[in-house]
Amino acid sequence: MSSEGFLKEMQTIGEKFLLKLQRLPKADPVEIVSFCVVLLFIVTVLLLMIIACSCCCYSCCSCDGRPDHRRRKIQVRPVAH
């Protein structure tokens, strides 16, 4: 998918989301609850992705500023006789 198509799709989703938010005060209680459940699911997935990426970056890139010597690979060379 091209970047223009992706941006167009994101704009369409955003417009639908805003329309849904505008209609929410007049909606049925069931629709309000279902919207909140879907919104909570999306926020949870995004939060878990951020936590997973930050933990992965912290362990792989040693983001604390110190090099991690335990994870460094050691090359084994054959012994010359």
pTM of the predicted structure, to 2 decimals? 0.54
User: In angstroms, rounded to a whole number, what is the distance separating the alpha carbons of residues 13 and 19?
Assistant: 10
Number of domains in the chain: 1
In this structure, is residue 46 part of a structural domain? yes
pLDDT of residue 45: 95
Tokens found for residue 68 = 């991690």
For 9-30, the pLDDT digits (tens) are 999 999 998 898 898 888 899 9
The range of the structural domain enclosing residue 53 comes to 28-57
Task: With respect to residue 4, please indicate whether it lies within any of the assigned structural domains.
Answer: no
Q: Say if 50 falls within a structural domain.
A: yes
Residues 6+ apart with CB under 8 A from 62: 68
Could you tell me if residue 42 is inside a domain? yes
pLDDT digits (tens, 9 = 90+) for 20-58: 889 888 889 998 899 899 989 999 999 999 988 887 776
CA distance 79 to 50: 46
Alpha-helix residue ranges (DSSP H) falling in 1-81: 3-23, 29-61
